[in-house]
Structure 1
């Protein structure tokens, strides 16, 4: 999750998922709110374009958005660790 400062004050928040093997950005989302849905939307985008191997490992900064029930359920559905 990256904070992007705005010229008039405030921030936008960017969630990005990178495939560490290819170093390719496979999912991203930019929002005014830093909520669980931000990382979910970025992950869904990544899942739509990547073939997910069983037992894939996902790394995050372990912030609250990544500990949410909906996000964790999405990981379980795709057998992502």
Structure 2
């Protein structure tokens, strides 16, 4: 508002003035992601951009996103059957940890009873490359 009236004011000077007047900005602070202390593991890409699938339950894809839930961020993990392009499992959580993706995979597996050799494809984020998640994939899909 000050700059629209022709008075130059940088954000640093505005912050300093606001502090002096005990004013608080209504803009939320930027979310800072935690750094991971584990080594990053690269998993081979067997799908190799071949997204045309001939039958259900051959290839599942997964991803995590966040949605604003009125007063806080919620994280959503989805597992999609690449043949039908429909979700087969999903889970929500207040924190973006590996339990979120584990739960989504277990819901997907429970909804499609007795699967045989499903390929799972993801963006290889930390949720999907964690040791526990890889062991879970090996357990349900030997």
Which of the five TM-score ranges fits, normalised by the shorter chain? 0.7 to 0.9
> Under a length normalisation based on structure 1, what TM-score does the superposition of the two structures give?
0.85
SS across alignment from 2:122: coil
Which structure is higher in RCO with an 8 Å CA cutoff and minimum separation 6? 1
Q: Which consecutive unaligned segments of at least 5 residues does structure 1 have?
A: none
> Under a length normalisation based on structure 2, what TM-score does the superposition of the two structures give?
0.51
Which structure has greater helix proportion? 1
Q: Which has the larger radius of gyration?
A: 2
Quote the RMSD (CA, aligned, Å): 1.5
SS across alignment from 1:74: helix
Residue equivalent to 2:82: 20
How many residues are matched? 78
Q: Which consecutive unaligned segments of at least 5 residues does structure 2 have?
A: 1-63
Which structure has greater strand proportion? 1
Residue equivalent to 1:77: 139
